[in-house]
Structure 1
């Protein structure tokens, strides 16, 4: 999975070949959206997206001209923050919550991968 700091890492296939346009559009981490389009899709202002960039929750890719480019995954995170803010959660707390939700999902994916591989992961104390 491409990291937020390397948003173009998913542009090549595992065999080293280039991904097709269709493959890139299917990649949730491919930075396909301009700031204006991203803001429109999420229903926020560009300033809201810039503020999320400042928190470290979302680090958009940059075009050759330096313009921000957002992935679908990043738009989902922004939409979740917006949802929490709309419910009255302070923006900084909403960003922390969404970041923790992301980390939990990653730990759950890692655990499932270990289970599939036959590894034994330690269970948290209950």
Structure 2
């Protein structure tokens, strides 16, 4: 029921409104307006708070996530790059090992003389 309907119903049952009735209605109306204004103010404050929070969240994600691609795609890309880097490192290690083995074989060849190991190629001094 709205206030207008209530007032009209009261006036029909009581006859003309008396000063005290009108004053009561004025006070009630002022109280309702004050409550409504207070409620509107609280709602506006809460909305401002929500807006502020949303701005902070948006700014955080704007600075945090410069790449808009989905997380799965970014992870996949990172894993592929890591795999390629590991493969390159493995190739370098393999090459280094092969080089070391080749150098060891060459050194072993130069140490042998006449088919004898290097330790037997030197003449032994006899006293």
Superposition TM-score tier, normalisation by shorter sequence: under 0.3
Which structure shows the bigger proportion of residues in strand conformation? 1
Which protein is richer in helix relative to its size?
2
TM-score, normalized by length of structure 2? 0.27
Larger Rg, first or second structure (1 or 2) = 2
